[in-house]
Amino acid sequence: MRFTDKVCLVTGGTSGIGRACCVRLGAEGGTVVVLGCDKADGAETVRLITKAGGKAIFMACDLSKPRAISGVVKKVLAKYHRIDVLVCDAAMMTFDHLVDLPLTQWDLLMLVNLRSLAQLTQLCLPHMPAGSAIVAISSVHAHQTTANVVPYATSKGALEAFVRGMSLELDRKQTRINAVAPGAVDTPMLWSNPNVKNGTEKIDKATVGTPEELAAAIAFMASSEASFVHGTTLVVDGGRLAQL
């Protein structure tokens, strides 16, 4: 099992891709720290992991609040003394024309989607042992997007730039950093997207993936099997970008 005796911290672990990732890491022996805002959803993720024989705890954390991030990392380190895998999955979207978007919403989205990645990387790195890994969840919107989601697309493009830049600051034998860019995935975020509902963003059901398929890709990137993969983005989209 690839994550035996490894402490795996996952943001956005209460639903969708994040939950599937937590379940996958737990099934492969990891001790999973599930981060999210909703305690009930977090408890359900923990239940799924422990029911299958894995180890997991939930810690509530609002990623828009830097103090909350600092506090939760301190709790994780006090309990486990290290972090072997960091998966930054949590994200939010807005669906307004930029000219109509309150800049407070722009700032909130960037706090959740981008600043939290930087802060978690900064806080966790000193406590990540040799062979550790960071996986940031991007999106095909970093490469090809639609109207009305400019802040989200911007944050994901910046996330991939962050990954490339940080890879130059890290020794891959100590800590690797990579991104995974999902396409359309069967999650609440996809089906609640107004652009999807009104047809602005066309979704071919043949290229809608499952959270479990993304979790498999994330687990690979976080595992020692990907020891020579560093500073890049793995697109997992069912061939969506290739069709453009």
Residues annotated catalytic, as ranges: 152
Contact 39/63 with Cβ under 8 angstroms? no
Contact 58/72 with Cβ under 8 angstroms? no
